[in-house]
């Protein structure tokens, strides 16, 4: 996963579900599990909410393969903290499924083919 030199990663945390790369206004989650449910989402959001404190941020989900996303995972999002969600993948099935996911989140939501495009977008959301 290549990222632009314009953005400097602040911290990286490895979880059983993937890698979280923290930047000033967003986090990139490189998903490595084949199912993301409500409990996993709670755990990940506890980490990201703690990192960003009172600041709003954007969650960028990088999906290099198909992953089942439980719709209940979106129910644990605090919209006062999470300003936007971006899904990044070059897989058509992920793009198609992201349309369904968009209905589950009331904030800013977008799909991108590249991490760089998602990063630029995230800077405009927060």
Query: For 74-102, what is the mean pLDDT?
Result: 94
Assess contact for 18 and 30: CB atoms under 8 A. yes
Give me the percent of the chain exceeding a pLDDT of 90.
Answer: 89
What is the reported pLDDT for 58? Answer: 98
Assess contact for 113 and 87: CB atoms under 8 A. no
Query: For 97-123, what is the mean pLDDT?
Result: 95
What is the tens place of the pLDDT at every residue in 16-52? 999 999 999 999 999 999 999 999 999 999 999 999 9
What is the tens place of the pLDDT at every residue in 44-75? 999 999 999 999 999 999 998 888 999 999 99
What is the reported pLDDT for 1? Answer: 47
For 54, list phi and psi in degrees, rounded to 5. -85, -5
Fold for 11-125, please state it.
Transcription Regulator spoIIAA (3.30.750)
Q: Where are the domains of the chain?
A: 11-125
Query: For 100-107, what is the mean pLDDT?
Result: 93
């Amino acid at each position: 996963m290549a990222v632009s030199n314009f953005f400097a990663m602040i911290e990286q945390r490895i979880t059983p579900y993937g890698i979280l790369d923290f930047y000033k206004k967003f986090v990139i989650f490189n998903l490595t599990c084949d199912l993301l449910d409500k409990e996993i989402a709670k755990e990940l959001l506890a980490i990201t909410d703690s990192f960003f404190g009172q600041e709003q941020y954007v969650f960028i989900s990088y999906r290099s393969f198909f992953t089942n996303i439980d719709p209940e995972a979106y129910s644990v999002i605090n919209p006062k903290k999470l300003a936007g969600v971006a899904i990044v993948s070059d897989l058509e099935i992920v793009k198609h499924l992201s349309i369904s996911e968009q209905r589950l989140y009331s904030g800013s939501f977008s799909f991108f083919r590249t991490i760089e495009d998602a990063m630029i977008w995230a800077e405009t959301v927060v």
